[in-house]
Amino acid sequence: MNQSKSQRWCVLALLVAACSTNPPESTDEKALESAQDDIQVMASRASLSGVGGTRIRAFGSFSCDFLLDFTQTTGPAGGFIERDRIFLQRYINEFTLPNDPGMLQKHIPFLSASETTAFIGGRYLFEGRIQAAQYENFIKNQFFYPAGVQFFDRPEFVDPECRDWTVLRAQRFEPLAGHTAMRTERFDTEQTSIFGELGLAAQIIARIGGILAEAESRGYAEVHFVQNLLEHKFQIVYFISRVDPPSPTAPDVGALTSIAGDPTLSGSLASDLGMTPVFDRSSLVMNIWLPYGVGDSGDAAIWPNSPPLPEPTCGDDVCIPSQGEDSVSCPNDCTPNCGDAICQADENLDICPGDCELPIVP
């Protein structure tokens, strides 16, 4: 066995300390891909005996956080979020692999910051690790809508922080449809190399079972453990199901209060492994994206706190077939053929985003 493979197996066996020779520093694509492969092997071999729930078969993740200024938006918030959902899920479905469905899910957090602003963003899971990186490139560099406006240059988005991630583990205890609140903890790993990140991943994976057991005992619905090897970040995202009964006048404040008031799920992980906490935010879940189907024929996005939070409605100038809208149920928004994946003469990207050409700039 050559030296490189020997070093890799030290990590896979969670015996990083036994490796006596450090590899050369490298951040090229081959080194990164190799490291990500190693992490997936470690994750698949991790012992989680006694932990309930179901593993989500996701290998890539993406997250964004930014302030949304509602005074700068055009049109109802529910409509423009659904339009963007269709654009972004179509990109994954049409331009990346695997694409069945490719993007497994997305949670949009929502935390009011003022009467006209809110902290929102996204927590995504993808089937493929490379898909997450492709999605990051698309949303940062290639996605222009409205015409000529790059996604993050929209005036309503303030100070976006976004990155793709390698998934160490994603575990679901309760169905997606019930998720109403969430919390994100983010850390600087204080590592300086990919090899150091591999060693850290081994130590984190060895402790995931205990953290998941704690999450299950608290009644949490889902947990994601993700790592960015190049930016030296680690993140835990966790969700809780509905606490308060649904109300058209109030979101699930009980769930938000519960998850925000709990001790951090990470516990002593950061101090034990030398990481620095840099972000801890609890939010309502505004929207959950589910797998996409051609012409927006897939599962409808879930709006668990709407009303009173914004939601799509007939009359918001966007035809959303997955929400049951068509020319009969919602003639104000839909043309007769919207949803057939063919851009007809009476359709455009604004009203029928599932049929017309994606706004991609190479």
Please determine, for residue 159, whether its predicted confidence score (pLDDT) is greater than 50. Answer: yes
β-pairing, 276-289 with 233-241? Answer: unpaired
What is the reported pLDDT for 2? Answer: 43
Residue 1 lies in a domain: no
Mean predicted lDDT score pLDDT of the chain? 92
In a domain, 340, yes or no: no
Task: Tell me which of 362 and 98 has the higher pLDDT.
Answer: 98
Q: What is the mean pLDDT of residues 162-188?
A: 98
Per-residue model confidence (pLDDT) at position 22: 43
Which range marks the domain in which residue 285 is found? 54-320
Domain count, the chain: 1
CA 286 – CA 161 distance, rounded (Å): 19
Q: CA separation (Å) from 176 to 35, 223, 224?
A: 31, 12, 13
Residue pLDDT, tens place only, 258-281: 999 999 999 999 999 999 999 999
The average pLDDT across 83-110 equals 96
Q: What is the mean pLDDT of residues 26-46?
A: 83
| Residue 235 belongs to some domain of the structure | yes
CA-to-CA distance for 251 and 243, rounded, in angstroms? 10
Residue 215's domain is classified under what CATH number? 3.30.70
Q: According to the model, what pLDDT value does residue 362 have?
A: 79
Residue 334 lies in a domain: no
Res. 31 pLDDT band, cuts 50 70 90: confident
**Per the domain annotation, does 106 fall within a domain?**
yes
Q: Cα(55)–Cα(175) distance, rounded to whole angstroms?
A: 12
Q: How much is the pLDDT for 29?
A: 80
Query: Could you tell me which of 317, 190, 306 has the C-alpha nearest to residue 248?
Result: 306
357 part of a folded domain: no
In a domain, 326, yes or no: no
